[in-house]
Amino acid sequence: MSAEFVFATAQYESGDWDSAPLLPANIIDTIARYTEIPVAPTGVIVPLSDARLFRYPLVYLTGHLPVRFSDTERRNVRAFVDRGGMLFIDDHNHDIDGTFHKTATEEIARTVAPLTELPNDHPLYSAFFRFDGPPTTSHELNGWGDNLVHKHLLAVQRRGRISVLYSNKDYSSEWNYHPDNKRFLSVDNTRFAVNLVVYALTA
Amino acid sequence: MSALDRLRRVRGVLIAGVFLRAALWGTFAAISMIAIVAIADAIAPVGLNVRVVLRVIAILAGLVVGLTFVWRDRRVRELDRVALWIEERVPALSFALVTAVELGDPTLLVDMRTSDWTTLAWHRGLSRLLTPLAALVAATVVLLALPSGVVARAAAPRRGDSLSRASRTAANRIDPLVAELRPPVYSGARRQEIDEPRDVRVLVGSVLTLRGRGDAGGIIAIASADTTLASADADRWQITLRVSAKPLAIRLTDGTHVRIIAVEPIVDAPPQVALTLPVHDSVLRVPSGRLPLAAEATDDYAIASASFEYIVSSGEGETFTFKSGVLGAVHSSGKQLKLSATLSLDSLHLKPGDIVHLRAVARDANDVTGPGVGASETRAIRIARAGEYDSVAVDAAAPPDAEQNVVSERMLIMLAEALEKQRPRLARDSVRHESHAIGVDQKKLRRAVGDVVFTRLGGAPTGEEHTDESPERAKTMQEMLARADSATNRSIDPVDFEGGESPVVAVNKPLLEAYNAMWDASTALELGDPGAALPHMRRALAAIQKARAAERLYLRGAPPPVVIDIDKARLKGKDKGASSTRRPEMPIDSVTSIRANRLDHAIEIARTSSSAAADSLLLLRVDALADAPAFASALGDAAAAVRRGDGAAATDALARARRALVGAPIVRDSLSRWGIIP
C-alpha cells in the first residue's frame, strides 16, 4: 500500500460512473492546499469488482443512472466496508425521487445496511473544517433536481464509524470543475472534501 | 355337538387363556419397567435421550415376555395335546379320547360325557390368570401412586418436561427451567420446548416463554435495558419475551440466584433471485418486439410475491428522464418460485439511446421484520444510437473466416533462418526460388497487418491494396502515421492521450512499425537475400508482440488528465510558513482488545467457578454474535464445554475463539534481534 493518499473513483458496471471527471483532481488540489497529508497528484479509477478496491481507504462513487451492483461488486463492497473502507456516494441527479437515489440506497441497504440520517453534529463535520451540517450546494439551492435543500447526509455506521456516506447534495456537480478555477470563488466550496478525507483516514 | 367339536372348543378356551396370560405378563413387565424408570428419575434426573431409550426397552421387554409365554405354551393348539390334557384330568376316559383323536375315528367317542370339559378348561385358564393379574394390579397401583408428571416423563418423554419431574424442595425457582419457542406463524415452523436453556437459536419475531416451578413473586428477567416480571400460571411462573434481531443475554433472577440465557436470533434472509432470461445485456438496433423474461426465486421460509421491474432511462449528460413499471407479478406461499413474463418493447416507446434496466424482485412472507426483498442481477437492454454503428457491435456477428494460408511472422523467421543456414550449400537459383517463396508469404502477412491497420483507421480493409505498389507509399513510419492521423482526425477534437499522441498514433504505432518492417523484409526476400531480410523480420515480430501487449483502453472512462502540482497547491517555494504540528490521534482501545481482555478474564475465573466462567463466555458470545460469528461460535462451544467440565474440549474451543479474535499466532524461526530474552 502506498504511503500517500490516493483519491479513488469507483467504476461500476451498471451506470455512468464517470459523470464527474474533474472532481478527483479538484479534491486532490484541495487536500494539497489545506493539509499536509501526502497525496498522489492524480486519482485512480478502480472497478468495484476488482480487488484493488481494498487499497484505498476512501472510494467515491457517483452517477445518474440506476445503480445495480453485480455479485462480484456487491461482494467486494461488502468486504471493503468490512475491512474499514469508507464509500462516499453522491447522487449526481440531486433528486430523492430520482432513479440513482432509489437504486443506490436500495443497493447499499442490500449490500451493507440501510442508510440512516447522519446527525449534523457528527465528528465528520468537525474532522478538519467546522461545519454545522453538510454544506449546501448551488445545485440544490437553485432548484435543480428535487427542489429540496437536504438537511442531512445519510450514512451507514459501524461501531460509531461511517462505512458508507450518502449525499443528495450533488457535490459531484458542485466540485466538478478544474482546480485552477477556484481562484474565482470567494469561499472554496470543496473544503468539505477535506473533512471527508481526514475522517476516512483517521476515524 | 360332537365330542370332537367339544374338544376343539376346549382347545379354543385354552388358547385364549394362553394369550391372555402372556398379555398380562407382558404388560406387567412393561409397566414395571416404566415404574422403575420413573422412580429412578424422581431420585436422580434421567436425561431425555436415556428415557426415550428406556421407554423403547420397556415396550420391547413387554413384547418379549408376552411372546415367551406364548412360545412356551405353543403346543396348546395341537388337538392330541389338548385330548391328553383332558385325559389327565378325567381318568375315566381311559385314553379313549386320545385314541379317537389319533385315529381320527369319532365313533369311539359316542356316548362320551363332554359337558364338564369346557368347565374344566375355564377353571384352569382363569386360575392361571390370577398371578399375572395380581402382579399387574400391583404394578399399576405403584404407578398410580407416583406423581402424574413423573410417570409422564417415563412413559412419554418429551422436550420441556423437566418441570414435571418431582424433586425435593428446590433452592430456587429458576431451576429447573424450560423455554418454549413459538416461531412466527408465517415461518410455518413448529413450536418447541427446551429443557434447561443456556444458548438458544431462534427466528427473529419468535415468542420466547420461560417457565419454572413455584410462585411468580420476585422473579425477573433483565434483557438489555428491559426488565420483565414473571406472571403466575397455576403452580408455575412464566416470562414471555419477543425475540428481536439483536442478540440478547437474558439474566433471570430469583433473589440471589441468577441464570443467563443467551439468545441468538436467526434473521430471515431475503429471497435469492436469479434472472434466467434475458441471459445477458444486449444492444438492440430496433426497439420493437417482445422480450421473454424468466426468473427463479428461493427463500429460507416462504416467498409471498415476485415480479419483474423495469426502469427506462432516456437522455444523456445532465438530463435524464426515467419511467418504471412492474410486470408478471405472482403470489406464492412456497419456498421456491418460478416466474415468467413478456415485455413488449413497442409499448415502452423507446428511442435510440434509451436503456431498459430489467430485474426480478421477490418478497418473502416475513410479516414481522420484513418483508425481505431480494432482487436479481440487472440486465440492461440498450437501444443503439444512429451514429454508433461504425464503432459498436450492435449484434453479435459471426467471426470472419480465418485465412488459412497466412504464415505467422515467427514461422517465416524460422524458414528464413533455415534457408540462410543452408545457403552456402545451395545453388544461387535455389536460394532465390526459396527466398522468393518466403517473400510471397511475408507479403501476405503484411497485407493482413495492413488490413487491421486500415480497418482501424476507418477505411476499407483493402485500403492497403491502394498503396501496395504505389510510388506514394509512405517511406517512413512518421509519414504513414501522419497520413493516418490526418485521415482520421478531420473533424473532431482528439481525446487527450497519454504522451500527447492522438489515439490513432498511439494505437496503431506498433502495427505500423511491423507493417513497414515487413515491407523491407519482403523486398529483401524477393531479391533472394534472406540474411538481409531477417533483421527486418525480427523487428516486425517485436512490434507485433508490442501491439499484442498494448494496454487495452476503456475510452468512456478516460477523463482529461489533470495532474495537480502538489507543491504549487501548498504554496511551497518562497514562503516558509510553519504549519502546526499534527499529532496522530491515540489509537482507540479497539473492540478486539476489549474482547480479548474479557476472554482472558473469563478464562481466569474458570479456575474458581466454572459456571461463572461459562456465563461470562455466554455474555461475550452475545456481544460478538452480530459482527464476529466465528468468535461467537467458538465461545458457545467453550461455554458448553466449561459447563460440563470437559477441559480438553474447552481448551480447544477457547483456542479457536482466540484465533478467531486476534488471528493465528506469528511463528518466528528465532527470537527477534531486539527481543528482551537473550
Residue for grid cell 433471570: B252
Residues of A with CB under 8 A from a CB of B: 11, 14, 17-18, 21-22, 25, 28-29, 32-33, 36, 39, 41-42, 45, 64-66, 68, 70-71, 93, 98-99, 103, 106, 110, 158-159, 173, 178-179, 202
Q: Which residues lie across from B258 on neighbouring strands? A: B253
Tell whether A1 is covered by a domain.
no
Q: In chain B, what percentage of residues exceed pLDDT 90?
A: 16
Query: Looking at residues B189-208, what average pLDDT do you find?
Result: 87
Residues of B with CB under 8 A from a CB of A: 270, 311, 313, 318, 320, 322, 324, 355, 357, 359, 373, 375, 377-378, 380, 556-557, 559-566, 569-570, 579, 582, 584-585, 591, 627
* Number of A–B residue contacts, CB under 8 Å: 77
Tell whether A3 is covered by a domain.
no
Give the pLDDT band of residue B499 (cuts 50, 70, 90).
very low
Q: Which of B357, B562, B569 sits opposite A68 (nearest CB)?
A: B357
- Over residues A111-133, the pLDDT tens digits come to 999 999 999 999 999 999 999 99
The grid cell for A62 is: 457517483
Q: Which domain holds residue A37?
A: 8-202
Residue for grid cell 379354543: B12
Mean pLDDT, chain A, rounded, equals 91
Contact in structure between B412 and B406 (CB atoms under 8 Å): no
Tell whether A186 is covered by a domain.
yes
Judge residue A146's burial from the number of C-beta atoms within 10 Å of its C-beta, 0-12 exposed, 13-18 middle, 19 or more buried: middle
Mean pLDDT, chain B, rounded, equals 80
Domain count, chain A: 1
- Provide, as residue numbers in chain B, all residues whose Cβ is less than 8 Å from the Cβ of A36: 570, 579, 582
Q: What share of chain A is helix, strand, coil (3-state, %, to 5)?
A: 35, 20, 45
**Which has the minimum average pLDDT: A146-160, B42-56, B541-555?**
B541-555
Query: Looking at residues B83-102, what average pLDDT do you find?
Result: 79
- Over residues B312-339, the pLDDT tens digits come to 988 876 777 888 889 888 888 888 889 9
Whose CA is closest to B456, among B517, B501, B408, B506?
Answer: B506
**β strands within B459-588, DSSP E:** none
Tell whether A197 is covered by a domain.
yes
- Over residues B99-147, the pLDDT tens digits come to 877 777 766 666 666 557 778 888 887 888 889 999 999 988 988 888 7
Tell whether A88 is covered by a domain.
yes
Cβ pair B557:A70 closer than 8 A: no
- Answer whether residue B395 shows pLDDT above 60: no
Q: 3-state class of B75 per DSSP?
A: helix
Cβ pair A41:B563 closer than 8 A: yes
Q: Among the residues of B565-624, which ranges form H helices?
A: 566-569, 591-605, 610-624
End-to-end CA separation in angstroms for chain B: 114
In one-letter notation, the amino acid at residue A94 is H
Cβ pair A32:B562 closer than 8 A: no
Q: Going from the N-terminus, what domains does chain B have, and what CATH number goes with each?
A: 3-155 (no CATH), 169-266 (2.60.40.10), 272-388 (2.60.40.10), 409-557 (no CATH), 591-662 (no CATH)
Tell whether A106 is covered by a domain.
yes
- Over residues A63-112, the pLDDT tens digits come to 988 898 988 999 999 999 999 999 999 999 888 888 899 999 999 999 99
Query: Looking at residues A147-176, what average pLDDT do you find?
Result: 91
- Answer whether residue A3 shows pLDDT above 50: yes
pTM of the model: 0.49
Interface test with B, best of A9, A19, A26, A65 (most B CBs within 10 A): A65
- Answer whether residue B574 shows pLDDT above 80: no
Query: Looking at residues B481-504, what average pLDDT do you find?
Result: 49
CA-to-CA separations, B399 to A37, B381, B403, in angstroms, rounded: 52, 23, 12
**β strands within B76-225, DSSP E:** 177-182, 192-195, 199-203, 207-213, 219-223
Give the pLDDT band of residue B575 (cuts 50, 70, 90).
low
| Alpha-carbon gap, residue B339 to B377, rounded angstroms | 15
Q: Which of A22, A41, A93 sits opposite B320 (nearest CB)?
A: A93
Cβ pair B378:A66 closer than 8 A: yes
| Alpha-carbon gap, residue B480 to B513, rounded angstroms | 10
Whose CA is closest to A103, among B492, B165, B164, B355?
Answer: B355
Give the pLDDT band of residue B573 (cuts 50, 70, 90).
low
Nearest residue in A to B572, CA atom: A33
CATH number at residue A161: 3.40.50.12140
Which ipTM was obtained for this model?
Answer: 0.75
Residue for grid cell 531486539: B674
Closest-CA distance, B677 to chain A, in angstroms, reads 33
Give the pLDDT score at B495.
Answer: 39
